[in-house]
Amino acid sequence: MTHLGKRLITWFVGLAVAGGGLTFCLKLYDFIQTASRGDLPGFAFATVVSYFIVTVGFLCLALWAFVRGHYHDIEEPKYRLLKNEEEIDRQDAERLRAARPGAAR
């Protein structure tokens, strides 16, 4: 995939997420307006408020990860995992060779 194609996909996904966030904010505004008029039953109010609290928690977690730089190099963990896997395989192979009967020690 070309660099331009990757950029277009990134922008498309970003716009889709921003659109979803805007829709959520509009629904939240409608919810606040309805709750302030007293038209909302108590059980629905508690459910939506808890949903909102969880959403704010996830937003704070994502913001914390962004500020800490966790999204800076998203490819590095993949290579580190592969390197660790190779090291574990090498150690296992050495243990198997050492455990064979008649192996030189």
Residue 65 DSSP label: H
- List % helix, strand, coil for the chain (3-state, nearest 5): 80, 0, 20
- pLDDT score, position 94: 93
Q: Which residues contact 45 (CB under 8 A, 6 or more apart)?
A: 35
- pLDDT score, position 89: 96
- pLDDT score, position 7: 87
- pLDDT score, position 36: 72
**Is the pTM higher than 0.85?**
no
Where exactly are the structural domains of the chain? 75-99
- The list of the chain residues with pLDDT below 70 reads 38-44, 103-105
Q: Which residues contact 3 (CB under 8 A, 6 or more apart)?
A: none
End-to-end CA distance of the chain: 52
Name the token pair of 98: 């050492």
- pLDDT score, position 80: 94
- pLDDT score, position 104: 57
- pLDDT score, position 31: 76
